[in-house]
Structure 1
Amino acid sequence: MSSTPSRINSQTPFSTDLGLKGSHALVTGGCGLIGKVVAHALLAAECCVSIVDITDDCPFDRQDANICFVKADITNAEQMDQAFAKAEQRFGPVEICVALASLDLSVLQQSESLADMDPKTWQRVFDVNANGTFMTCQRWLRSIRTAAWDPQKASRLRNVSLIIVGSESGRFGVRTMAAYAAGKSAVQQGLLRSLAEDAPRLYSAARVNAVAPGPVATERFEEERRRYGDEFYYRECQATVPPAKPIPPEDVAMTILFLASQRYSGSVHGQLIPIDAGKTGNLVWTKEELAERPKPGDGVN
């Protein structure tokens, strides 16, 4: 069941309104460095916003009538079920779901080679970034399916969309943290493509898309720049990025608003949108590394 979105014709004035007012959006990881910007953007678009995060340190006014904060671990199915139930009790069915929560690359201990990686690290990253995202998406689908079979709720559904937050790492890989790259690739490729076929069977107007941000200019990224210096900054966001700068978090939030809006992106479905300023890949060798690279005959194949 679904309502047909209004169409623009020559007799209808064009509106630039996103049409998100009153829609219920849920953001996992909504207290994080990017998540809080996304949540603020949704609030600015007059959504009712449920914020799900593992931390109690929520930068929002919990007394705000348009905010529902729920502490939950995305890897715990019971906690996620309870989080959605609380959000649904407050604002109704979750129409817009932003699956953003994950272990960030900057908090993971990296290794010089996959040969040296602790298998427990691989398992932990997949548990959070892949399995946690799966459980978020699954619970959103259940929320939409339940609402779709209730004529009263179905008639009020608008902007039914899921946005998975992936990463450029899922496109280009990360030599020193393959688990992160593989986990992001799993959700922004295999999971996305599967959900794109699945979701409209439960509700015909449901849309599923993903975004893949490049290095985002958060406070943590600036700390890393100070810690690791100009070479780090050059490798991350200059060597293969035409504008030679990181991505403002607001750019990520605005793209998510676009994808959330049925009025603006009603025909965008099953797509992965890079938000990386045209990044063409990773810098593989610096001149110094290339000079020190083992050659055939040095005892290393």
Structure 2
Amino acid sequence: MSLDRRGFLFGAATVTAGGLLGYAGGHPAAARDAPRSPRPTGGWLADLADDTPVARLSLPGTQHSAVRFGGAQVARQRRTIAEQLDLGIRFLDIGCRSSHSAFAVHHGAVFQRVLFGEVLLACEAFLRARPSETVLLRLRLRQEHSTVPDAEFRRVFDLYQAGFRRLLRLDATLPTLGQARGRVVLLADHPKLPGVPYGDAALFDVQDDATAPPAVKYQKVERHLRKAAARPGKLYVNYVGTAVQGSPRANARYLNPRVHRFLTGPHGRRLTGLGVVAMDFPDATPALVHTIIRRNQRAATAAGAA
């Protein structure tokens, strides 16, 4: 690792002494006890045509992708970023605290024992091994546990941009798959950052009701899946999880299987072009991840026949 990379990857070592408890060598101490990942899906985008718009793909994703610590009411994932990518995840959702010229991944006040540079390193290693793939990354607008000015947030981001210049795709337009292969496509959910302007109504259609109870949230998710398939043109982003009326994990046990049943049932099995389907704990329902992935194969077959 170059000296400049080491500086901003680990420059947040003074984030807080309490926040860094259990943090050693750049890896969460709890990772040693993490269960084995399900069978990796590898480079599943390889067989799709380069001219396929990313907005027409069906992409399994995670919400609060690096939030693994803080107890049952906080944690949204069990797998590391590298394990999620191996599972087939191609959309990441990251919230950061700006501290000491680095971004520390947080959920509220809870440091998630990983720095933003380590998220990028995981993506870089994955894409180097599988150059046919791409990763869409939303860097959240709202700072987590920091309130630095926008100009300072941009200054820190520019350090990452310099260190990962070849990895990051910072164009303001949604790419084709060929343009995105081997790159992390930044969805710029911040007014001072480059990248595709996340949430721009001309480009995105987002369902992200974080206050809906599970039964209501499921209805919203299903409606958004139907809408994505019926009205192509934008990148649909569909957040499945909720932390209302139960822990995120308990709600994922309810929601993820229901979404899978819909997509494999009579009313959902023919839907393609689903956009991003971002989940809590997708490893608990790996069949849903594989079902979303297979929609791209079905769409490619239909396009070829046409």
TM-score by length of 1: 0.32
Tell me which structure has the larger Cα radius of gyration.
1
Q: By percentage of residues, which structure has more strand?
A: 2
Query: Which protein is richer in helix relative to its size?
Result: 1
Q: Between the two structures, name the one with larger relative contact order (CA 8 Å, sep ≥ 6).
A: 2
Instruction: Normalising by structure 2, report the TM-score.
Output: 0.32
